[in-house]
Chain A
Amino acid sequence: MTGEHSPVQVAVDSAAMGSASASSPGGVPGRSAALPGGIEVTGLSKTYRRVVGREISLTAALADVSFTVAPQEFVSVIGPSGCGKSTIMKILAGLLDPSSGSVKVSGKPVEGPGPDRGCVFQFPGLMPWKTVVDNVVIALEFAGVPKRERRRRAEEYVDLVGLDEFKRHHPGELSGGMQQRVGIARALAIEPVVLLMDEPFGALDALSRTRMQDELLRIWEQTKKTVLFITHSIEEAVVLSDRVLVMGNGVITADVPIDLPRPRSRHRLLSDPRTLELMRDLERLIGHSDDHEPEA
């Protein structure tokens, strides 16, 4: 089966993207992106400005990016390194101001970080001087959770990610995968409506990586949050997502619904011909987006 015959809906033109995603394919039907947990990104551009000696360098990282994510939808963003994935994530997290365009979460414009969004980064970013539980506790403190509730909640989410035996350990005593679990527990513990994950498993070995994907599927099915998941692994995107956004230099070049049944098990998915077909489509689309020049 070739890409042309596949029933995948693809919007290769980024200008057409905005309208294509307004009637959002995939996702949870009947849920507007303006409802709690929804994400709306419209005409988002970002240019980094840096002065080195006499030279002012302007890097256009994003050019007119638009997409929506329905509440409780799991959407992956995939694209080659340097195409602007982390920039989207940081703007959604409120860590970075956009140059132009609008970014809304739950129908409200994003103005700085907030406890409605939980972030997981590629590097776990744990405080090395704090134990596993205390790393979660301090995040809850930053998020403004009342003191008497912090420890109970921290322990609850450390249990959820399967680290109950390691509560009193320090990050230096944990493997990379375990540290990333703490990062996930920390993001979930603030009980956000949206989970923003920037290549959370990118630094893990292949085995830990698939195990963490299974864990994430389990947790997501249990907690039902909106997830924006950044990755550069096609398989990861297909296994996890309801929908995959393909990026090439600063623009979204395709929006691919992943119409695989849930609940998913990696084992069943990998023997499903539909999975392979979707992976092949994505591979072709990403190859295509590599030649794509930014319009701005």
Chain B
Amino acid sequence: MAIAVERRQMSRRDALRRKLFSKERALQVALVVVVLGVWQYVGKKEGDFFLAPPTSVVGAFTEVLSGGKLWDAVSSTLVGIAIGFVLAAVIGVAVGTLMGTSRSAATALNPVISAGYVIPEAAIVPLLIIWFGLDMTPRIISVVLFAVFEIILSTYAGVKNVDAVLPQVARSFGASRAQVFRKVTCVAALPYIFAGLRMGAARAVKGMVIAELLFAATGVGGAIQDAANAYQTGKVMVYVIVITLIGVGFAGLMQLIERTWLRSWHGDHAER
């Protein structure tokens, strides 16, 4: 047993400094600078038509902003991603949990899920347009298809791999089946479920943009298509960056939710 336990509070300033200035942080920044530098060099050498360098992209960005269409495109894309992702999360966690707890459900569903996971969803999107037309529905379905299998499989793995000792211990203390499920199995699987949701979030963004690209009509994907048809590589890059930011922001949001949910899972200690 440890001789003594001591708990101290770090000052806010120290905590902030730890967060802002670390070796990892310096490497992160250096890597971004290197990428931007190479991009600038190649862009300048080849010209705007082939690859607009970051300096031209900044110009294109102000142009896009003053055009006033950016917000419309982004909001339409965001709404689709949000609806599709929530659907995928609900379906994915439910189906994954069912598979993890019932062997017959897992056996029955496994072939369909595995097939769905390997199918290149982009190949199905044109069919969705044929079936559902050009409004929001096929785009949301595309988002669901892109994200749901990842979430199902992670949840399934998480629920199945719960340390078998834990449910047994709970039962030995008299836990009902419902209690074992809610208070042990589901909580124990949370890290896997969140990993699935985080990957699902990134894939949801891809599903949305691919649908929009193929419709060539709406949202950020549509705007990319327009810009590319006009050979405006600067604008294409602007929209690609916007999409990337959406994706990163979305995954970051998931990570934030995960952190608060899993705080007790990991213990909230300064040193890890």
Which of chain A's residues has its CB closest to B7's CB?
Answer: A168
Choose among A113, A127, A141, A178 the residue with the greatest number of B CB atoms under 10 Å from its CB.
A127
* A142 engages B170 (CB within 8 Å): yes
Is there a chain A Cβ closer than 8 Å to B244's Cβ?
no
| Chain A contact residues: helix, strand, loop or mixed | loop
* A121 engages B165 (CB within 8 Å): yes
Could you tell me how many residues of chain B have their Cβ less than 8 Å away from some Cβ of chain A? Answer: 27
* B5 engages A165 (CB within 8 Å): yes
Which of chain B's residues has its CB closest to A177's CB?
Answer: B1
* Given known contacts A123-B165, A177-B1, A178-B1, A113 and B172 CB-to-CB distance under 8 angstroms: yes
Is there a chain A Cβ closer than 8 Å to B111's Cβ?
no
Residues of B within 8 A of A141 (CB): 179, 183
* Given known contacts A142-B179, A165-B5, A170-B267, A129 and B171 CB-to-CB distance under 8 angstroms: no
Is there a chain A Cβ closer than 8 Å to B174's Cβ?
yes
* B187 engages A127 (CB within 8 Å): yes
1/0 contact string of B180-197 vs chain A (CB within 8 Å) = 000110011010000000
Choose among A129, A139, A177, A190 the residue with the greatest number of B CB atoms under 10 Å from its CB.
A129
The total number of A-B Cβ pairs within 8 Å is 71
* Given known contacts A166-B5, A175-B1, A177-B1, A119 and B267 CB-to-CB distance under 8 angstroms: no
* B179 engages A125 (CB within 8 Å): no
Which of chain A's residues has its CB closest to B169's CB?
Answer: A125
Residues of A within 8 A of B104 (CB): none
Is there a chain A Cβ closer than 8 Å to B175's Cβ?
yes
Residues of A within 8 A of B173 (CB): 113, 115, 119, 139, 142-143, 186, 190
Residues of A within 8 A of B170 (CB): 138-139, 142
Interface size bucket, A side? 20 to 34
- Expressed in whole angstroms, the Cα–Cα distance for A115 and B174 within the complex equals 7
Residues of A within 8 A of B262 (CB): 129
- Expressed in whole angstroms, the Cα–Cα distance for A251 and B169 within the complex equals 26
Residues of A within 8 A of B172 (CB): 93-95, 113, 117, 119
Is there a chain B Cβ closer than 8 Å to A232's Cβ?
no
- Expressed in whole angstroms, the Cα–Cα distance for A117 and B266 within the complex equals 31
* A127 engages B174 (CB within 8 Å): no
- Expressed in whole angstroms, the Cα–Cα distance for A121 and B168 within the complex equals 10
Is there a chain A Cβ closer than 8 Å to B166's Cβ?
yes
* Given known contacts A127-B166, A165-B5, A177-B1, A144 and B171 CB-to-CB distance under 8 angstroms: no
Would you give the shortest CB distance from A183 to chain B, in whole angstroms? 8
Would you give the shortest CB distance from B10 to chain A, in whole angstroms? 18
Is there a chain B Cβ closer than 8 Å to A172's Cβ?
yes
- Expressed in whole angstroms, the Cα–Cα distance for A143 and B188 within the complex equals 20
* A125 engages B166 (CB within 8 Å): yes
Residues of A within 8 A of B264 (CB): 129-131
- Expressed in whole angstroms, the Cα–Cα distance for A129 and B185 within the complex equals 12
Q: Which of A93, A113, A144, A172 contacts B267 (CB 8 A)?
A: A172
* A95 engages B171 (CB within 8 Å): yes
- Expressed in whole angstroms, the Cα–Cα distance for A175 and B166 within the complex equals 19
Would you give the shortest CB distance from B19 to chain A, in whole angstroms? 23
Would you give the shortest CB distance from A16 to chain B, in whole angstroms? 33
Pairs across A and B, CB under 8 Å, 6 listed: A113-B172, A115-B173, A141-B179, A141-B183, A142-B170, A165-B4
Q: A119-B169, A142-B174 are in contact. List 9 more A-B contacts (CB 8 A).
A: A93-B172, A95-B168, A113-B173, A115-B174, A127-B188, A139-B173, A143-B173, A165-B5, A169-B5
Q: Which 6 A-B pairs have the closest CB atoms?
A: A125-B169, A142-B175, A170-B267, A142-B173, A129-B265, A125-B165
